[in-house]
Structure 1
Amino acid sequence: MNILEKVLSTHTFARRIAIFLSIIILGWIDLATGFEYAFSVFYLVPVSIAAWYDSVKSSVATIIISGLTWLYADFSAGHYYSTPFAPFWNGCVRLGFFSIVALLLIKVRKNLAALTMMAMQDTLTSLNNVRAFNFEYQLLHKISLRKGMQFAVGMIDLDGFKAVNDQLGHSAGDDVLVKFAQVLKQSSRSSDILARMGGDEFVVILLDTDQAGAEEYSRKLREMFFNSGLKQEYGIDFSMGIRIFNSLPKDCEDATHQADQLMYQAKALGKSQTTICFA
């Protein structure tokens, strides 16, 4: 069942072939069983697949094709109606029924996606939260095993953040976190993984990055941080530790712990700097 769901959700061509074939098979069975047996409810199978896994246009097309297939099977089975208008009325009713089910499924899917996004997102900074980071890490671990790609895991801790909370209040602290998250986003590639681990601690995974790439990332991040005005306005800076892996450790905590140790080395050396090392 999991394999089928994976195919339907990730392979557009296979999904649409499955929708088309299911309509053909259902139409053939509908025709073979004759008009005495109600069969229209089974057309909800392809309609539901399209509504849940595919686009709105695909859902509309599936609804129309399913309705026309039922109408053709009904006519071909020799169903007699007292008025010529009756079968077309029944066809429109079935189209309405299919449409309502599809609309409800699309609405549920969107709400579920929104709830999933909320559950995987830090509410303050809109970065990934710990749960989302762990999920992304496991995906990257599989990629690292398959492709032998280098990754850099960086842990970041803000220097002087506690003083901001103590002297200016938590609203100012929240403002710092939000602005720093924006700096992180602007400094990173779309393929990089960013997350807030809690408090004023952040993590980044740089894909396909070596020593030179990690150094360039650190330089760019510090330049954009300086240009953001956070240091001038709040008197904060950040310490960062970056551990470069030829292949990611299986355990996410192992990777972040190694980067965390390097970050504390940076703090011990005077803060406001980056320590980079190979695993």
Structure 2
Amino acid sequence: MSGFTLLGLVGVIDFLTGYEYSFSVFYVLPIALIAWASNQRLGFLASLIGAVIWLIAELMSGRSYAHHSSPIWNTLIRSSLFFTVVILLTKIKMLMQRERELARTDYLTSAVNSRYFKEIAQLEMYRIQRYQRPFTIVYFDLDNFKEVNDQFGHFVGDQVLQTVVSTIKKRIRKTDTIARMGGDEFVLLFPETNDKAAKSLTTDLQGYLLTEIQRNHWSITFSMGVLTCQAAPNSIDELVTMADNLMYSAKSDGKSTIKYATYWGNRDHREWQTCVP
């Protein structure tokens, strides 16, 4: 709306100053604003409106033409210029968005990468400090993944990782996050999820994963460390380290195991363990 309003304002000023003064760049600016802030379709609409406003301003200011087709030609040329600006800007915007996505996403699995996960987790820590709403992170890796890689090759190993991520994405909320931390290690972030919900959720997720893995005849299980935060840890590194330690504790107690813990800040820290066959 600001862009269209500005476009109309430029037309009024163009009319008041007369056709002796060129206002071409001032028409381009609101059109560029509309194209960048919205989409290409609205940018094209703004281009047409801008060209028509420019024509009306010239005609009302008393400009005469040598031939009656001249204003039509000028309007077409101006529209083409505006369309070109819109196409270029929307293309640049799309490339920038794509570059931003690539910088945040693991190229193999389409999970978010560790750097972007830390940004998301930091926001969740800010939120728990303000609203005291719990969240849960799940750190897990794939038991026997190296053996599968060695036996079947890296192509099959890549398929395993992709299958794990795609299976989880089908089972979690849009507000949840799955990130690949490196190799066969992953972390899940569940906002507003307490320990009871976390236990039910991760048990179900592990079951879905095992079913999918067994369907493909891969000898892989999952060891998970599940940390529910009722208070914010001191840093993201501390948060990830606690969940990572839980996962390794679960792995040392036996593969295909989930270990749970709840972080209470300075008040208390309690943990318990559940084994899933």
Letter of the aligned partner of 2:121 in structure 1?
A: Y
Confirm whether residue 25 of structure 1 aligns to residue 36 of structure 2.
no
Residue in structure 2 matched with residue 107 of structure 1 by the alignment? 91
1:40-91 Cα shifts (integer Å, max 9, x gaps): 2211111111211202332122112211211121112211212222122111
Letter of the aligned partner of 1:43 in structure 2?
A: Y
State whether residues 143 and 255 of structure 2, in contact with CA within 8 Å, keep that contact through their aligned partners in structure 1: yes
Residue in structure 2 matched with residue 67 of structure 1 by the alignment? 51
- Give the 3-state SS of the residue equivalent to 2:225 in structure 1: strand
State whether residues 51 and 105 of structure 1, in contact with CA within 8 Å, keep that contact through their aligned partners in structure 2: yes
What is the root-mean-square deviation of aligned Cα atoms in Å?
Answer: 1.8
- Give the 3-state SS of the residue equivalent to 2:112 in structure 1: coil
Letter of the aligned partner of 1:157 in structure 2?
A: D
Greater fraction of residues in helix: 1
- Give the 3-state SS of the residue equivalent to 1:196 in structure 2: strand
Where do 4+ consecutive residues of structure 1 move more than 6 Å? none
Match of residue 185, structure 1, among 148, 165, 169: 169
1:143 Cα deviation after fit: 3.3
1:250 Cα deviation after fit: 6.0
Letter of the aligned partner of 1:193 in structure 2?
A: T
Letter of the aligned partner of 1:268 in structure 2?
A: S
Letter of the aligned partner of 2:5 in structure 1?
A: L
Confirm whether residue 166 of structure 1 aligns to residue 150 of structure 2.
yes
State whether residues 213 and 219 of structure 2, in contact with CA within 8 Å, keep that contact through their aligned partners in structure 1: no
Residue in structure 2 matched with residue 122 of structure 1 by the alignment? 106
1:235 Cα deviation after fit: 1.4
Letter of the aligned partner of 1:189 in structure 2?
A: R
State whether residues 34 and 77 of structure 1, in contact with CA within 8 Å, keep that contact through their aligned partners in structure 2: yes
**Inter-partner Cα distance in structure 2 for 1:42 and 1:91:** 16
State whether residues 225 and 250 of structure 2, in contact with CA within 8 Å, keep that contact through their aligned partners in structure 1: yes
User: Where in structure 2 are the equivalents of 1:1-279 lying within 5 Å?
Assistant: 16=1, 18-230=2-214, 233-249=217-233, 251-279=235-263
- Give the 3-state SS of the residue equivalent to 2:66 in structure 1: coil
Greater fraction of residues in strand: 2
Question: How many aligned residue pairs are there?
Answer: 263
1:31 Cα deviation after fit: 1.7
Structure-1-length-normalised TM-score = 0.88
1:231 Cα deviation after fit: 8.1
Letter of the aligned partner of 1:167 in structure 2?
A: Q
1:239-267 Cα shifts (integer Å, max 9, x gaps): 11111112444632221111111111111
